[in-house]
Amino acid sequence: MSVHAATRKRVTLAGLAEKKDAADPIVMVTAYDHPGAQIVEAAGVDIVLVGDSGAMTVLGYDSTVPVTVDEMLMLTRAVRRGLTIPLLVGDLPFGSYEASDSLAIATAQRFIKEAGCDLVKIERGGISVDRARALVAAGIPVVGHVGLTPQTATALGGYRAQGRTADAARAVIDDALALQDAGCSLLVIEAVPSEVTAALSPLMRIPVIGIGAGADADGQVLVFHDLLGLYDGGAAKFVKRYADLRADAVTGVAAYAEEVRSGAYPAAEHSYSMPADEAAALREMIAGR
């Protein structure tokens, strides 16, 4: 069921804080193009993330690492043109912010100025805490990201759950608290045991958005292509399929191909026609050449 824009107010950070205080779950989803943005807006989500997951879901890379700033800006601008109500978050890709505060600020400013983002997202704790603090000081709202951080999945042992021991869980929580103290407006926590999120949530003043992190977060995020069954790659344990659009799309294109080959398409109702006298005049012109 679509949620019409006329019934909704534009989402703000203050509004998200109110939702957290009221224990009203926040809905976040990714999008990577204009039609996707229109779909998620019509569905009534609160936050749209143009994630670097688009490297895999729409650009065909085998990980998020190769995607460039210019590619992410192209995707983000397309999404911006399809949104009016949800907050828009742009994912800063690997290599675009880690080296220095000045690099992080310059990259983030492009996402704000050129793509119309409301916030930018960076991954991990550690040095990223310093980058988050610098971005906030520069007037740029930031989303932190802890737990499984795909940009550095290799260093974490692959795409696997994090925080599965008490010490590892404490490290995830420490990173989250450090990002909050650095001034982040939101936090994404990915692929951790639900007990970690349950322990973290009471310590957080800012909304916590979970992905594979249990039900104790203030909201949830999933990848558009995963939840709709559009992505042909393997899905993580936490993904729930709400549709199987890839199968429907393959069926539809296969039916089209069959009708083209059999001559069933295009039929008369799919074709334009000329007045009979004009068609006759055209035949005479061609015959006279």
Residues involved in catalysis: 190
Report the alpha-carbon distance of residue 243 to residue 232 in Å, rounded: 13
**Tokens 């322990």 — which residue?**
199
Surface-to-core class of residue 152, CB atoms within 10 Å of its CB (0-12 exposed, 13-18 middle, 19+ buried): middle
**Tokens 């971005």 — which residue?**
135
**Tokens 């939840």 — which residue?**
227
Report the alpha-carbon distance of residue 115 to residue 107 in Å, rounded: 11
